[in-house]
Structure 1
């Protein structure tokens, strides 16, 4: 799981973005990523 976190630092930055649209897109990506990992 450590690589998943370090590999997604950019995604984490976007989740913390001040831009709402950017946050929403990053959230959708994060959810898709987690779902892929759990298959």
Structure 2
């Protein structure tokens, strides 16, 4: 994770927004997996 941040210091806001959405999507997916939906 730290290497990723170092490589992308000039990351466009749009890419950050997409990354945040992916992180949230993963969290929701993990919760569903635990609940067994």
TM class by shorter chain equals 0.5 to 0.7
Q: With structure 2 as the length reference, what TM-score do the two structures score?
A: 0.55
Could you tell me which runs of 5 or more consecutive residues in structure 2 were left unpaired when the two chains were aligned: 33-37
- The runs of 4+ residues in structure 1 deviating greater than 6 Å are none
Q: Larger C-alpha radius of gyration, 1 or 2?
A: 2
| TM-score w.r.t. length of structure 1 | 0.53
What number of residue pairs does the alignment pair up? 27
Question: Which runs of 5 or more structure 1 residues have no equivalent in the other structure?
Answer: 1-8
RMSD across aligned positions (CA): 2.4
